[in-house]
Structures are given as C-alpha cells and as structure tokens.
Chains A and B, each alone.
Chain A
Amino acid sequence: MSGYAADVAALARKDLLLELRSRDTLPAMLLFVVSALTVFHFALPEDSSARAETGLLWIAIVFTALLGLTRAFAPEREDGLLDGLVLAPCDRSAIWAGKTIGVMAFLVLAELVALPAFALFFHSLSWELVAAIALADVGIAAIGTLLAAIAAASRARELLLPLLFLPLAIPVVIGGVGASVAANPGSFLGFLGLYDAVFAILSWASFEYVITE
C-alpha cells in the first residue's frame, strides 16, 4: 500500500474504531432515519405519488447525513486533536479522505436500515434508486466532510454546518429524485457522478487551507 493510501486507511480505521467504542453517531443516525420515514409514512396520503415518496426518502437521507456530519470532527474538536494530525508529516488531504470514508461508512450503514424500511412503508426499490443513493453518498460525504471541518473551527458550528451543507445538497436531491423517477435515469446518474467528481476534487484540494490558520 502506498504511503498516502496507508495514511488514509489508518485515519479511516481510527474513526471506525472510535465509533465502534463510543457509539455516539451511528445509533442516532439509525434512529433518526427510521423515525423520519415512519413520520412520512403516516403524514403522506395513501394515494401519494412515487415521486413524492422518493423525495421524502432523499430528504431523510440528507438530514441523516447532516446528523452524522455534525459529529464528524467531534473527537478532534473536543480535545484539540486536529493539531496532532496536522503536525504529522502525512499529506493533510489524507485527513479529509480518511474522515470522508468514515462518514460514508456510517451513511451506508444507516441506508442499509433505511432502504428496507422505505420499501416496507412505501414502494419497492428500483436499481436506479439504489445506484443514485450510492453515487450521492460519495458526494455528500466528500463535500460534507470539508464543510464539517470548516464548521468545527467556528463557535456557531451547529448553525453553520446546515447553512453551508443544505444548499450544496440540493443538486443531490434533484439528481437523486430524477434518477429514481425519470424515464431516462442515465442522465441524472451522470449528473450525480459529475457532482461527486467536482466536489471530491475541490474538497481534496482545499482541505489543507481549511484546517490551517
């Protein structure tokens, strides 16, 4: 494994181990997504369209991701640990990459519960929906981790993160809902892939400037 990949793997492994032991984030994400889908199930009329139902699933996913992102840098923020990581001679973007993998892992685990719940409450899952969610996870985790790092440095972090993240999540919802219900899902999936590429590169390249003064 190359040095960079080994650094990313070590940092991602650390985040997964921290969550496994503290169980601070994932249970909250699971509870939230299942609760949200349950509320939507009872709130929607029985003859609601597949588009409306799918839209609500995407809203649940975006807010579940936001919940995970608010905790993404909690250990580093609480104990000033980002200083320790920043001082290490590894490429600082490895910190972002490791954290992004952790965020994505938690999101995927939440979706492994959310998608069966959605199928149970609403309608069956299509391959287009699953593909769109997989693509969206990459973009959400990539840009969300960068924004979580920006917010972590601020005193108003709980306020700042949603303000930064939600506008940038709008294209994900548009692409995701489009891919799930449109006749030509390919173009929407392509749009999500492009979103992933653009924001992953931007986040990777700018992370160093975000975490240094």
Chain B
Amino acid sequence: MLIKRPDDIKPSDITDEKIYHQRRAFLQAGSRAALAVAAGAVVPGLMFPGEAAAQVAALQFKKNARFSTDEEINSLKDITRYNNFYEFGTDKKDPAKYAHTLKTDPWNVRVEGEVEKPADYQLEDLIRESQLEERIYRMRCVEAWSMVIPWVGIPLSALIKRFKPTSKARYVEFTTLYDPAQMPGQKRGVLNWPYVEGLRMDEAMHPLTLLAVGLYGKVLPNQNGAPMRLVVPWKYGFKNIKSIVKIRFTETMPNTTWNLSGPQEYGFYANVNPEVDHPRWSQSRERRIGEFFKRKTKMFNGYEEQVASLYSGMDLRRSY
C-alpha cells in the first residue's frame, strides 16, 4: 500500500476567506490567552495543563484518518507534563513548570539558504495557505518510552513547495529560538544552543512529515514546542525540533545538536530501529506511557511500509 503523494491544491482545498480570518483570530487569541494565563496570578508550579488548555483557543482542522493510527491516544495531561525540552530544564517536569515565559506571538520564521527568495515569515503566513489536519502519530523517544499524540498541523512538503528550493538544496536545517531570557535552560550549556536539527530533502518532503501547530485540537502548549514544531514519527523524538525560528536549505548535511553532544550515540538519521542499540541501552523495547508492560519496538516506529524505501541500500547500523 503506497501512500500517494498529495496532488496539487484543488479549488475546493483553498481556504475560504472567512475561515482564514477566523483562524488568524483563533491563533492570536490562543497564544494571547495562553500568555495571559501564564502571566497571571497563577503560580506556575500549580498550573495544570488542563486549565491552560481550557483557556486556549480551539483550532479548525480536518481529521486525516489515512495517516493516523488507531492506537489509544495518551492523555493531554501526560503529553503536556512529561517533556524533554532542555531549553526549560532537564527534568521531565521542567517544561510544564517553566515554559510559560516563552512568548509565542508574534513569531517570526526566517527561511534562507538554497531557496529562490530568502524571506522572513510570520507564523500565520506560513500556515494560512494549507488546511490544518489532525494526525494521530506514535512518538518514540530515544530513551525508550513512547506516546501516541494527536497533532494538528500542515505537511512540511506543502511549505517547502512554496519556498521553492533550488536544485542545490539536498537537506533542510531547522533552528530553535535562542533567548536565555525566555528559555532559562539555555543559560546552562548542557547542549550547544540553539538547538539545530535537519532532514534529507526526501524525508522533509515525505507525506508523513508534519509541521505541528496544535495538539488535541487546540493551540500547541509551550512545553510541547509552541508555536511551531516538527513531527517526523518514524524517527527518535529528538529529531522533532521545537519552537522553530529558522528553516535553511543546505547542500551539506546539517550539524545536529544531539549528534554534536554524543556522536556515537545520536546520529543524523535517528530512525527508530530495534536492531540498532543505543551504545548504553537497548532499543528493542519501549515503555508506552500509561502501560505497565514494555512493548517491542517496531522498525521505523511502525511506519516501515511508508518510509523504508527512503533508506533502501543504506546500512542503518552505520547511518544511525
């Protein structure tokens, strides 16, 4: 069963202007509401994700069942309070506690490198031309735990087509915001800031690759990488870079942050692969958050049918 590449935009797909304006308003209201809750009298440590979510605006989107798994979705509570986002601290509970200082509106994204016209975009400009979709994806962390998450976003391929990369563009590099005032974890050098990740062009153009702006039908909470993050479900979680401010098309393979931190342990490809262990722990099994017994990890996180062809002929033990 091959996933068909998405056709060009049909007239029926073009966003109705009224919905476009509604969406802008929702996004702006959403991020302002989130900021208001955070900046208000609520003590950060006591703020439950549920409270913030109730104040955050709902997004208009269509469900994409074709790309979604029917496995049980993890609770919003778990998804928003168990995060690796070292920009806010290295404890899993830190992002939920401290990410409220991140200002997600306005949000500027620089697009540069091997593209026809390098430019700056506001977040609304990036997503307005595509219909938001909900996709329920598995997410597998390199630490051997996993979740099922209902993301809302747009296919990265739709954006890339708009940017018109030149023939020299073989990779896409993403960069996270660098601002220790907003992201206090960046005051410590646990990783080389800012966080950088990258994909090969065919991985970036793959139908599964998503640029997410929402979660559980609402605007993305700060601790999950607001306002815009990458979701590449067949790779380890650290490839899913958060709070993106720069997208650069390059000829050479990007130097990614975790690869710099541990070259023997974290590779560029980082495909979920139960047959290639992390040097210090096994990758053959994982703990699905919420379950007691461990599960067998699946090749490419269960997306083997859709993505294996990208790596045919490659030695995945060497290209980890």
Answer whether A and B are interacting partners: no
Q: What residues make up the interface of A, taking CB atoms closer than 8 Å to B?
A: none
Partner-A contacts on B (CB < 8 A): none
